[in-house]
Amino acid sequence: MTELLGKLYHNGFYATAAILFLTGFYIVLADNHLIKKVIGINVMESAVFLIFVATGYVEGGRAPILTAPPGPGGYINPVPSALILTGIVVSVSVTAFSLALVSRIYQHYGTVDVDELARRRGPEP
């Protein structure tokens, strides 16, 4: 048991990422609120960002600015951070777009609840 906890502690980033990913996934699939689904997507993406950035992290490392002295652990790997910057931009645009769609849905139907939406839409258009 202590061994398992120790392993979890040393892989804290990965364990947290797995929990966040599943939480986000669950919210997207199970929640009926359209905006909460968007939030779920964001939680899920944060998990992926976390695990990606963690792969480049070095204990005690500093950002690799070559004119500054390295930290006690040397430099961290900058590639994952740079990639995730792109990932965050993508995620922000997707969030903005989906929120815009939700507000349109609200204008058309007057609700953001999935069940209510199905009721107001009627059986088949």
Partner 1 sequence: MTSPVSHLGVLVVIVPLLAAYCAELPWQAWRRASLRLATVTAAAVFGFCVLLAAQVMQKGALLYAIGGRPAPWGIEFLIDPVAAYLLLGLSGIFFLVALFAEDELEAEIGEAGLPHFSALYLLLEAALLGLVATNDLFNTFVFLEISAIAAVGLVALKNDRLSIEAAYRYLILSTLGSGAFLFAIALLYAVTGHLNLEYLKQALAPALASYPLSVAAALAMLLLGLMVKAALYPLHIWLPDAHAAAPTPSSAILSGVVVEAYALVLLKLVLHLFPAPVAASSAWRLPVLWASTAAIFAGSLAAIREDDIKKMLAYSTVSQVGYLLLGVGLLSRSGLLGSLLHVLNHAVVKAMLFLAAGAIIRSTGRRRVSEWQGVGLQAPLPAAAFAVGALSMVGIPPLNGFISKWYLSLGALEARMPLYLWVVLLSSLLNAAYYIPVVVRCFLTPARAGLKAPSRPASATAPLLVLALATLLMGLFPSVQLGLVGRTVAAWAAR
Contact residues for partner 1, defined by CB under 8 A: 21, 24-25, 28, 34, 37-38, 41, 44-45, 47-48, 51-52, 55, 79-80, 83, 86-87, 90, 93-94, 97-98, 101-102, 104-105, 108-109, 117, 121, 125
**What CA–CA distance (Å, rounded) separates 86 from 123?**
42
Cβ proximity to partner 1: between 72 and 125 the closer is 125
Q: Is 44 exposed, middle or buried (0-12, 13-18, 19+ CB in 10 A)?
A: buried
Question: At 12, which helix (H) or strand (E)?
Answer: helix 12-30
Cβ proximity to partner 1: between 68 and 96 the closer is 96
